[in-house]
Amino acid sequence: SQTIHQWPATLVQPVGSPLSLECTVEGTSNPNLYWYRQAAGRGLQLLFYSVGIGQISSEVPQNLSASRPQDRQFILSSKKLLLSDSGFYLCAWDPRLGETQYFGPGTRLLVL
Amino acid sequence: DAKTTQPNSMESNEEEPVHLPCNHSTISGTDYIHWYRQLPSQGPEYVIHGLTSNVNNRMASLAIAEDRKSSTLILHRATLRDAAVYYCILGGATNKLIFGTGTLLAVQP
């Protein structure tokens, strides 16, 4: 069966510090991968998605970036965090666009 | 991308049925109707999806209008563990799933 992992589970970072969140999927190959952010009390905002190694599509302009160095690894990064980057970050995968997405446990990020 | 409209919040009593509505008047012929729910401090989880016919699974039922411009997620007997945000989303063969703000369901004991 497929599983999706995210780490860390929680993170407190100062403004201006770098960020690296990792997501890995097991039990499937060539998944589509997604990064979402959820601000407190809000819906999910799609940040990036990837249909293959090295292929990244950005949905919203921001100071975050994403990379996919391996088939089942998706990384969310920032060089300098802003207060507004605080939120709940979720990674997800699906076998094909438009099909059921499966979400990871999320990373709660607090930027102070 | 086709959009959906859901009430911001609903309330239900425990062990009673819950009908969560969703309007999607601009749905295309190839869009599936997906429902997810998000429990507090967790990622969303899949509930059910359908295209034209009503669907049932162990979690819920999905009733789709004949013109497909609306649908209803039915929880047959709400429990306290069903308190969550429920998202109704359209997804087609080439469309990414777009999550809105969903419906916050409160279940009273």
Q: Is the model's pLDDT at B2 over the cut of 90?
A: no
Q: Which chain B residues contact residue A101 at CB under 8 A?
A: 36, 44, 46, 97
Contact between residue A59 and residue A18 where contact means Cβ atoms under 8 Å apart: no
Distances (CA, A) of B75 to A99, B14, B58, B70: 22, 11, 10, 17
Q: What is the pLDDT of residues A4-47, one digit of tens each?
A: 999 999 999 999 999 999 999 999 999 999 999 998 877 888 89
CA nearest to A98, candidates A49, A64, A59: A49
CA distance B70 to B33: 9
Q: What is the pLDDT of residues A57-93, one digit of tens each?
A: 988 878 899 999 999 999 999 999 999 999 999 999 9
CA distance B79 to A112: 38
Q: Which residue of B has its CA nearest to A89?
A: B43
Contact between residue A66 and residue A90 where contact means Cβ atoms under 8 Å apart: no
Answer yes or no: do B101 and A43 touch at CB < 8 A: yes
Number of inter-chain CB pairs under 8 A, A vs B: 54
Q: Is the model's pLDDT at B30 over the cut of 90?
A: no
Of B32, B45, B96, the CB nearest to A49: B96
pLDDT at residue B93, rounded to an integer: 62
CA nearest to A4, candidates A108, A109, A106: A106
pLDDT at residue B95, rounded to an integer: 61
Q: Which chain A residues contact residue B97 at CB under 8 A?
A: 94, 98, 101
R_g over Cα of chain A: 13
Whether A40 and chain B come into contact, CB under 8 Å, resolves to: no
Q: Tell me the average pLDDT across B4-15.
A: 95
pLDDT at residue A34, rounded to an integer: 93
pLDDT at residue A41, rounded to an integer: 76
Answer yes or no: do B99 and A103 touch at CB < 8 A: no
